[in-house]
Amino acid sequence: MESALISGLQGLVIGVTNLGLGHVIMILIGSGLLYLGIQKGYEPLLLVPIGFGAILVNIPLADMMENEGFLRFFYDAGVRTEVFPLLIFVGIGAMTDFQPLLENPKIILLGAAGQFGIFLTLLLALAVGFDKLDAVAVAIIGACDGPTAIYVSSKFAPHMLGAVSVAAYSYMSLVPLIQPPIMRVLTTEKERMIVMGLVKQPVSKTTKILFPIVVTIFASLLAPKGAPLIGTVMLGNLMKESGVVERLKSASENEIANIVTLLLGLCIGATMEADKFLRGQTLLVLGLGFIAICLDTAVGVLFGKLMCLATGGKINPLIGAAGISAFPMSARVVQAEGQKYNKKSYLLMHAMSANAGGQIGSVIAAAVMLSVLQGMGIVGG
Amino acid sequence: MDTWTFGWTLALIGMGGTMLVLWILSLLILLLKKIFPHRPGQSAAKKG
């Protein structure tokens, strides 16, 4: 009887006796993410479940990510299969209004320039010693697009999923702090004061409906490995623009997106086990992710300057910063920055065009990357 | 394939490919707008 009591009591303290320093640090990091999400309001929809998942997975002997663990089930079902980020893309497509872009299509080029940080960061990641596919996963933080980063990193470097996702979402929420100094350094006051005229080119409903179909077919033919990314965003947008499947559209942008966001966040947190996360490599991922978003902004603004030059000063280069995919946050940053230098300057609609271009650009960049990797024989067909 | 050949190939084709695809998309948008121009009162007429 006495030994049974002792054994029973030992069962109650076994978690505490197995608690290592790594677990404690990770629980603190998880708590830090919860603090950022709850107290500071940084991407709470993702940081709250990620932070909680990080805490759960670092409870010793809870076996959350073991074969029959609760989080392992969702991870295998939604992350390993790449289904979760794709379902989120359907919701994003259903929420996105491409009208400003359709009104002023040449601005889409800023959305391409805003992705160059991905490829420049790839070179940096290779230079600091990441292997090829790990470097691709780090570089994709520059897409400034959470689901794209998750899709690519879960495909090529699942062991880095936690660090890549946390970096992607954290920096996206810090766009209002990261972008303005870069915008100021790369532009003159005269350029920042440029007033852009209104572009009034109404778009027919037929064009709006055909746009997602044409993009899907054309872009998927050019970059077939990216078809799931492109196709899901455009499916969501087609449901929105067609106006005939209101229930499906509503479910995509509400119920499905909410459920998947919760599960995806928990799964990302679940990849943050102490022995996998507490490495020097994680700090490098966070550092390179920051550089990637800075480079995106810098190249976007420089391309904006080029367009300003080509159009005889009709384009305010600040809108180039909105070529990244952080929608609509970076468009708002551009508007605020433009207003600081010229109260008569209303850049919001132009920046929204660039920002919508950035959304398509990030997906296209990832699709091009996947297809080139396949073409080079780095990944299977 | 060595690391740098991989890196530069992916970077150059990636940047060029992304720019090219989006440029063609902008042309396709212009084409769609030309074929299906907006007609003022179009939506009102359908509702009516």
- A370: contact with B, CB 8 A cutoff: no
Mean pLDDT of A341-364: 92
- Evaluate whether ipTM surpasses 0.95: no
Mean of the per-residue pLDDT values of chain A: 92
pLDDT reading at B47 higher than 60: no
Give the dihedral of Cα atoms A327, A333, A334, A337; nearest 10 deg. Answer: 180
A296-321 pLDDT, tens digit per residue, is: 999 999 999 999 999 999 999 999 99
Backbone angles phi, psi at A379, to 5 degrees: -125, 160
A282-295 pLDDT, tens digit per residue, is: 999 999 999 999 99
A 198-217: CB under 8 A from B: 201-207, 210-211, 214-215
- Strands in chain A per DSSP E: none
Mean pLDDT of A181-191: 96
Q: How many CB atoms lie within 10 A of CB A277?
A: 22
A355-375 pLDDT, tens digit per residue, is: 999 999 999 999 999 999 999
Q: Cβ of A112 and B13 within 8 Å?
A: no
Percentage of chain A with pLDDT > 90?
Answer: 76
Mean pLDDT of B11-18: 96
pLDDT band at B42 (very low <50, low <70, confident <90, very high): low
Of the candidates A111, A218, A365, the beta carbon closest to that of B14 is on A365
Burial-class residue A251 by CB neighbours within 10 Å (0-12, 13-18, 19+).
middle
Q: Cβ of B26 and A106 within 8 Å?
A: yes
pLDDT at A11: 81
A301 within 8 A of A182, measured Cβ to Cβ: yes
* CA-based nearest residue in chain B for residue A120: B11
Q: In whole angstroms, what is the distance from residue B46 CA to residue A243 CA?
A: 14
- A142: contact with B, CB 8 A cutoff: no
The domains of chain A are located at 78-256+279-374
pLDDT at B48: 44
Q: Cβ of A372 and B17 within 8 Å?
A: yes
**For residue A98, how far is the Cα from the chain centroid?**
18
Interface list for chain B against chain A, based on CB atoms closer than 8 Å: 1, 3-4, 6-15, 17-19, 21-30, 32-33, 36-40, 42-43
Picking from A255, A240, A196, the residue whose alpha carbon sits closest to that of residue A98 is A240
Q: Cβ of A207 and B32 within 8 Å?
A: yes
Instruction: State how far the alpha carbon of A40 is from the alpha carbons of A166, A174, A175, A289, in Å.
Output: 15, 11, 14, 21
- A108: contact with B, CB 8 A cutoff: yes
Q: Please report residues of B whose CB lies closer than 8 A to that of A118.
A: 14
Q: In whole angstroms, what is the distance from residue A191 CA to residue A318 CA?
A: 8
Q: Please report residues of A whose CB lies closer than 8 A to that of B4.
A: 126
Q: How many CB pairs under 8 A join A and B?
A: 120
Query: Which residue carries 């150059």 as its tokens?
Result: B12
A195 within 8 A of A344, measured Cβ to Cβ: yes
Q: In whole angstroms, what is the distance from residue B31 CA to residue B35 CA?
A: 6
Rg, C-alpha atoms of chain A: 22
* CA-based nearest residue in chain B for residue A122: B7
pLDDT reading at A324 higher than 60: yes
Mean pLDDT of A153-181: 90
* CA-based nearest residue in chain B for residue A296: B15
Q: Measure in Å the smallest separation between the Cα of B23 and chain A Cα atoms.
A: 6
pLDDT band at A381 (very low <50, low <70, confident <90, very high): low
pLDDT reading at A329 higher than 90: no
Picking from A170, A160, A115, A169, the residue whose alpha carbon sits closest to that of residue A137 is A160
Mean pLDDT of A120-136: 96
Comparing B10 with B47, which gets the higher pLDDT? B10
pLDDT at B46: 52
Q: Please report residues of A whose CB lies closer than 8 A to that of B22.
A: 108-109, 111-112, 357, 360-361, 364
Mean pLDDT of A320-325: 92
Q: Cβ of A109 and B8 within 8 Å?
A: no
Q: Judge if the upstream peptide bond of residue A328 is cis by omega within 30 degrees of 0.
A: yes
* CA-based nearest residue in chain B for residue A377: B1
Mean pLDDT of A226-250: 95
Lowest mean pLDDT among A189-203, A211-225, B9-23: A189-203
pLDDT at B45: 52
